[in-house]
Amino acid sequence: MQWLNEPPRWSVDKGSLVVTTGDKTDFWRETFYGFVRDDGHFFGQEVTGDFTAQVTLAGDYETLYDQMGLMLRADENNWVKTGVEFTDGHTHLSCVITRDFSDWSVITVPEAAGSVTLRMTRHDTAIRVQFRTPAGDWQLLRLGYLPLPTTCQVGVMACSPQRAGFTGRFSGFRVTEPISRDLHA
C-alpha cells in the first residue's frame, strides 16, 4: 500500500492504522460547493477486477465533515469514498461517487460514533456499499454506477475539511474476492 497525500501523523498500533489528518483536507469535485479538492489522505493498493474491501472504523468525530472510510480510485476525476462523516452534530454513514462531479448521500447512524464495519464491492461498473448493523447483518447503504478501468486503487481514506487533527483508527482492512451479486440474501 502507498500514500496519496500522506498525513502529518500516522502509525500502526496493534495491527490498526491510526491517522491524524492535516489541515482542511478533502476529496470533492465541483457539485454544490463549486470547488475541487483532492488533498485528503488515501492509503491504497492496486486491485484488478472485481473485489470486496472491508474495514472497521473508529474516529474522534468532533468538527463538521470529519470523515474516514474506504475509497476506490481510478484517478482524481473518478472515485468513490464511503465511511463515517460528522455533519449536523451527528455521525452519519456517507457515500460520495464522483464521475467528474461528486454526489453525496448520508444516513444518520448514531452507533457509528463508536465503531462501524463497512464493505465495498466492485461488480464490474456497479459499486455496492454495505455496513454491518448492531445485529450483525449487512445493510445496503448504496448501489451506484461507476465505470472504471480494470485496475484501480482501493484502500482507506481520512479527511477533515474544516480543521487539522482529526484522528481515526482503521482495523481489519482486507481485500478479498467479491461477495455474491445476490442483493437480497
Per-residue model confidence (pLDDT) at position 110: 81
Residue 178 near residue 52 (C-beta atoms within 8 A): yes
- pTM, 2 dp: 0.96
Per-residue model confidence (pLDDT) at position 32: 86
- Annotate 146-175 with DSSP letters as a single string: ----SEEEEEEEEEBTT-S--EEEEEEEEE
Per-residue model confidence (pLDDT) at position 109: 86
Q: What is the mean pLDDT of each run of 10 residues along the chain (185 residues)?
A: 98 96 97 93 98 98 97 98 96 97 93 91 97 94 97 98 98 98 84
Domains annotated on the chain, with CATH: 2-176 (2.60.120.200)
Residue 80 near residue 127 (C-beta atoms within 8 A): yes
Residue 55 near residue 70 (C-beta atoms within 8 A): yes
CA angle 149, 155, 10 (to 5 degrees): 145
